């Protein structure tokens, strides 16, 4: 999820590129086509989101905790400090430490307030002589009214188990587990307002703010670090890692959270920064490629849906302070963000489509479209009257 959809790919408060504001020059359809081509040519020639200032990127290795007592008993447990690791969980923690140790040095190690994440981080911390920093934002998404549900049947079904004789508590627990898991999944689709009743993370906006603050802390510490490393390891929980990742990377695949649920000590790797966004590199050892055009368009639509929900949440948080100045400032800032998101949406869509066409043409013809389209656009613009307009429309339709 891009937090500032009006400033896609920017660093700081730089203005939008010129090609992103030219469509406002005319409301006529044929002239908009010409404008679209004018916007397209720079995109074919290079990145549409290149900025003068470089933002440092970091690598984040998110690690799910080892098997906890609640996992072994099939119970939904998200309360702090929560249960400890089982003997198997301790073995898993040692094993993942051996996997991660060759990647040292790390800029920092982080865990949540949950005992199971701290115990999972301990072997790696001991091996590297490091002390993990505990960040509450890395806590698991609160289960709220579903806390303590018996989800053993649900987990068995997700892992290919068969449906045999079941008890009433297992049936009720399965239903509760589905309701708990449905909310974060819907958040990744852009429906942040979907609630988890009585949860410490009552909705997607609250969760993203909390987990995002932890990520921001990790990023700031890494940039200021003198270790020379730009990689961090953060130990957290399955639902929290999966949801934040799919909600914030530019190449999400939310279905992965259903078809390939992150196992105990599974690792998710992301690259990027809070300013420029994040890219999913791998999911439990499985490399993840760049976003396809449908995925990019999905993210564009989601950003548009998310903006008013974030605005409503932020304004409500300001209202709760009871401070008139805070309320007015929140309203002005967030209403502006919604308007900017609406303006940015068609720009993002055109940007993604043009870049996809550029890549396709380059693959099919073996020629860089940047060498062809500027000249073609120039010739078309010299043609008289409607002939030139039609030529521009044809080029714009490429």
CA distance 377 to 371: 11
Q: How confident is residue 273, by pLDDT bands cut at 50, 70 and 90? A: very high
pLDDT at 14 over 50: no
The reported pLDDT for the residue numbered 161 is 58
Mean pLDDT of 292-316: 97
Long-range contacts, 40-47 (Cβ 8 Å, 24+): 40/350, 40/354, 40/373, 40/396, 41/373, 41/374, 41/377, 42/17, 43/19, 43/351, 43/354, 43/355, 43/358, 44/354, 44/358, 44/369, 44/370, 44/373, 44/374, 45/370, 45/374, 46/370
CA distance 130 to 91: 20
pLDDT at 178 over 70: yes
- Strand 277-283: give its sheet, edge to edge: 133-134, 108-111, 231-236, 58-64, 267-273, 277-283, 286-287
CA distance 260 to 141: 19
Report the relative pairing of strands 277-283 and 108-111 from DSSP bridges.
unpaired
pLDDT at 6 over 70: no
Active site residues: 65, 140
- pLDDT digits 0-9 by tens, 230-241: 999 999 999 999
pLDDT at 12 over 60: no
Mean pLDDT of 384-395: 48
The reported pLDDT for the residue numbered 49 is 43
Q: Which of 120-129, 278-287, 377-386 has the lowest mean pLDDT?
A: 377-386
The reported pLDDT for the residue numbered 112 is 99
The reported pLDDT for the residue numbered 368 is 62
pLDDT at 115 over 50: yes
pLDDT at 135 over 80: yes
24 versus 278: the higher-pLDDT residue is: 278
The reported pLDDT for the residue numbered 35 is 39
The reported pLDDT for the residue numbered 22 is 31
The reported pLDDT for the residue numbered 231 is 98
Mean pLDDT of 334-354: 96
Q: How confident is residue 360, by pLDDT bands cut at 50, 70 and 90? A: confident
pLDDT at 121 over 90: yes
CA distance 112 to 118: 7
The reported pLDDT for the residue numbered 217 is 98
Q: Which of 36-45, 197-206, 302-311, 370-379 has the lowest mean pLDDT?
A: 36-45
Q: How confident is residue 212, by pLDDT bands cut at 50, 70 and 90? A: very high
Percent of the chain past pLDDT 90, that is, above it, reads: 69
The reported pLDDT for the residue numbered 20 is 31
The reported pLDDT for the residue numbered 380 is 46
Q: How confident is residue 66, by pLDDT bands cut at 50, 70 and 90? A: very high
Q: What is the mean pLDDT of the chain?
A: 84
Q: How confident is residue 398, by pLDDT bands cut at 50, 70 and 90? A: low
What's the Rg (C-alpha) of the chain? 24
pLDDT at 118 over 90: yes
Mean pLDDT of 34-53: 41
- pLDDT digits 0-9 by tens, 46-57: 444 444 356 899
Burial of 382 (0-12, 13-18, 19+ CB in 10 A): exposed
CA distances from 209 to 202, 248, 310, 362 (A): 12, 12, 10, 40
Report the relative pairing of strands 286-287 and 231-236 from DSSP bridges.
unpaired
The reported pLDDT for the residue numbered 167 is 82
The reported pLDDT for the residue numbered 371 is 58
Q: What are phi and psi of 75, to 5 degrees?
A: -110, 145
Q: Range(s) for CATH 3.40.50.1240 in the chain?
A: 58-287
Q: How confident is residue 153, by pLDDT bands cut at 50, 70 and 90? A: confident
- In CATH terms, the superfamily for domain 58-287 is Phosphoglycerate mutase-like (3.40.50.1240)
Burial 287-323 (b: 16+ CB within 10 A, else e): ebeebeeebbbbbbebbbebbbbbbbbbbeebeeeee
The reported pLDDT for the residue numbered 160 is 60
- pLDDT digits 0-9 by tens, 74-88: 999 999 999 999 999
Mean pLDDT of 378-393: 49
The reported pLDDT for the residue numbered 361 is 84
| CA 369 centroid distance within chain | 31
The reported pLDDT for the residue numbered 10 is 37
Instruction: Note whether 329 and 298 are within 8 A (CB).
Output: no
Q: Which of 109-113, 177-181, 362-366 has the lowest mean pLDDT?
A: 362-366
């Amino acid at each position: 999820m891009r937090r500032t959809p009006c400033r896609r790919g920017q660093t700081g408060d730089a203005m939008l590129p010129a090609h992103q504001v030219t469509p406002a020059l005319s409301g006529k359809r044929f002239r908009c086509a010409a404008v679209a081509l004018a916007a397209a040519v720079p995109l074919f020639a290079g990145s549409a989101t290149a900025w003068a200032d470089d933002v440092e990127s970091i690598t984040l290795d998110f690690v799910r905790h080892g098997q906890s007592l609640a996992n072994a008993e099939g119970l939904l447990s998200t309360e702090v400090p929560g249960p400890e690791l089982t003997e198997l969980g301790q073995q898993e923690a040692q094993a993942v430490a051996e996997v991660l140790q060759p990647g040292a040095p790390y800029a920092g190690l982080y865990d949540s307030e949950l005992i199971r994440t701290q115990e999972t981080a301990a072997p790696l911390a001991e091996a590297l002589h490091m002390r993990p920093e505990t960040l509450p934002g890395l806590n698991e998404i609160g289960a709220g009214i579903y806390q303590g549900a018996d989800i053993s049947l649900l987990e068995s079904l997700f892992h290919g188990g068969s449906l045999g004789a079941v008890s009433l508590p297992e049936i009720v627990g399965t239903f509760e587990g589905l309701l708990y898991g449905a909310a974060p999944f819907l958040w990744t689709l852009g429906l942040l307002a979907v609630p988890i009743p009585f949860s410490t993370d009552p909705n997607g906006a609250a969760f993203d703010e909390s987990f995002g603050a932890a990520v921001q802390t990790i990023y700031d510490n890494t940039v200021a670090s003198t270790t020379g490393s730009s990689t961090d390891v953060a130990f957290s929980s399955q639902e929290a890692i999966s949801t934040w990742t799919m909600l914030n990377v530019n190449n999400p695949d939310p279905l992965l959270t259903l078809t390939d649920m992150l196992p105990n000590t599974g690792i998710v790797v992301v690259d990027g920064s809070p300013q420029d966004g994040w890219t999913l590199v791998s999911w439990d050892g499985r490399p993840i490629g760049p976003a396809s055009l449908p995925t990019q368009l999905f993210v564009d639509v989601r950003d548009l849906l998310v903006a008013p929900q974030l605005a409503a949440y932020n304004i409500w948080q300001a209202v709760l302070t009871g401070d008139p100045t805070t309320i007015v400032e929140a309203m002005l800032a967030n209403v502006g963000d919604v308007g900017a998101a609406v303006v940015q949406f068609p720009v993002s869509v055109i940007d993604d489509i043009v870049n996809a066409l550029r890549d396709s043409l380059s693959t099919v013809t073996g020629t860089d479209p940047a060498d062809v389209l500027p000249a073609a656009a120039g010739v078309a613009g010299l043609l008289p009257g409607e002939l030139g307009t039609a030529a521009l429309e044809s080029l714009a339709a490429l």
